[in-house]
């Protein structure tokens, strides 16, 4: 009888031991222009978890994502991923500060099926690589900010050079401070508010807005607002470049335009309408 009881105990222990899985998590760094992180994968449990940080110039944001659904495609999965004792089955968890992220990070674990005595195997996922993510994110954030400052400085210098070139070549002055760029709709609103006299003979780089080429007569290209031609008057551009009706002006030219005058034209119904005249310089 004692031998039978002993054999039963051994069998029970063997059954419990059969659920034991070695911690085989491997860790791979994740790195991009504004992101750092670590991806942890385990073949034994079928789990992949990514811990990362988005490191822009405005803020640092942390993300814990369960990438895998399960060892067997999700159905009948015996292993769960827990954060702070609660299972996560899909999607991501977000953290807005270092402290809450590190607190959650320390609790990530993969939990196995219950053994013969009701116990469950727990495998810790957090690693020293993951714990360094806030520090690495601060470094990445500094790199992003330095890159953006450098890009802004270069863009500003390039813009100043372009303006200087036009001034030297034509004698015209920029219409707007800074980049001297706007879209046709905003340009019309500005002229409607302040009149043309303060801007006459000055130049600007204009983006399309909702204006398109409506008519081409010799060296004059007329643009009309597609959405509100009553609120936004026609724009006429004097140019040697060829244009096709329906085109946005940017597909014809991206060069500077000099404000010339307010003129008028006849519509197909014989009505006379105003048009703002520009010269391509």
pLDDT in tens, 209-264: 999 999 999 999 999 999 999 899 999 999 999 999 999 999 999 999 999 999 98
Beta bridge partners of 31: 36
Report residue 91's pLDDT band, with 50, 70 and 90 as the boundaries. confident
For the segment 131-141, what is each residue's pLDDT rounded down to a tens digit?
Answer: 999 999 999 99
Residue 7 predicted with pLDDT over 50: no
Mean pLDDT of 166-195: 95
Q: Are strands 92-95 and 181-183 parallel, antiparallel or unpaired?
A: unpaired
**In this predicted structure, what is the pLDDT of residue 76?**
55
DSSP state at residue 226: S
Residue 105 predicted with pLDDT over 90: yes
**In this predicted structure, what is the pLDDT of residue 11?**
36
Q: Residues with Cβ < 8 Å from 277, sequence gap 6 or more?
A: 236, 237, 238, 259, 260, 261, 262, 263
Q: Is 76 left (phi over 0), alpha (psi -120 to 50) or beta?
A: left
Residue 159 predicted with pLDDT over 50: yes
Give the residue extent of every domain in the chain: 20-140, 181-280
Mean pLDDT of 54-65: 91
- Percentage of residues in the chain with pLDDT exceeding 70? 89
Report residue 168's pLDDT band, with 50, 70 and 90 as the boundaries. very high
Higher pLDDT, 2 or 201: 201
Residue 21 predicted with pLDDT over 70: yes
280 vs 61, 173, 236, 249, CA distance in Å?
47, 14, 10, 11
**In this predicted structure, what is the pLDDT of residue 8?**
35
**In this predicted structure, what is the pLDDT of residue 15?**
37
Report residue 127's pLDDT band, with 50, 70 and 90 as the boundaries. very high
Higher pLDDT, 28 or 22: 28
Model pTM score: 0.61
Is-contact 203 281, C-beta < 8 A?
yes
Higher pLDDT, 50 or 3: 50
**In this predicted structure, what is the pLDDT of residue 69?**
58
Nearest to 103 by CA among 57, 64, 56: 64
- Averaged pLDDT score across all residues of the chain: 87
- Percentage of residues in the chain with pLDDT exceeding 90? 74
**In this predicted structure, what is the pLDDT of residue 117?**
62
**In this predicted structure, what is the pLDDT of residue 28?**
95
- Burial class from Cβ neighbours inside 10 Å (0-12, 13-18, 19+) for residue 39 reads middle
């Amino acid at each position: 009888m004692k031998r039978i009881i002993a054999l039963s105990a051994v069998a029970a222990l063997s059954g419990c031991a059969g659920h034991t899985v070695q911690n085989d998590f491997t860790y791979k760094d994740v790195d991009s222009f504004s992101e750092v992180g670590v991806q942890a994968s385990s073949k034994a449990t079928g789990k992949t978890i990514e811990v990362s940080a988005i490191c822009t110039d405005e803020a640092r944001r942390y993300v814990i994502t369960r990438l895998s659904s399960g060892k067997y495609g999700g159905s009948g999965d015996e292993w769960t991923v827990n954060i702070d004792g609660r299972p996560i089955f899909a999607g991501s968890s977000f953290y807005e500060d270092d402290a809450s992220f590190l607190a959650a990070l320390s609790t990530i674990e993969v939990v196995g099926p219950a053994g013969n005595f009701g116990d469950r195997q727990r495998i810790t996922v957090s690693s020293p690589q993951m714990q360094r993510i806030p520090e690495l994110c601060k470094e990445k954030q500094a790199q992003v900010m330095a890159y953006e400052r450098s890009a802004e400085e270069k863009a500003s210098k390039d813009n100043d050079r372009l303006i200087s070139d036009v001034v030297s070549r034509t004698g015209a002055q920029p219409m707007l401070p800074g980049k001297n760029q706007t879209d046709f709709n905003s340009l019309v609103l500005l002229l409607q508010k302040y009149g043309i006299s303060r801007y006459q003979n000055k130049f600007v780089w204009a983006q399309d807005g909702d204006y398109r080429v409506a008519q081409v007569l010799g060296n004059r290209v007329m643009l009309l607002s597609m959405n509100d031609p009553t609120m936004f008057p026609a724009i006429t551009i004097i140019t040697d470049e060829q244009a096709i009706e329906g085109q946005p002006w940017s597909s014809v030219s991206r060069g500077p335009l000099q404000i010339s005058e307010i003129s008028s034209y006849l519509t197909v119904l014989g009505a006379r309408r105003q048009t703002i005249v520009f010269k391509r310089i």
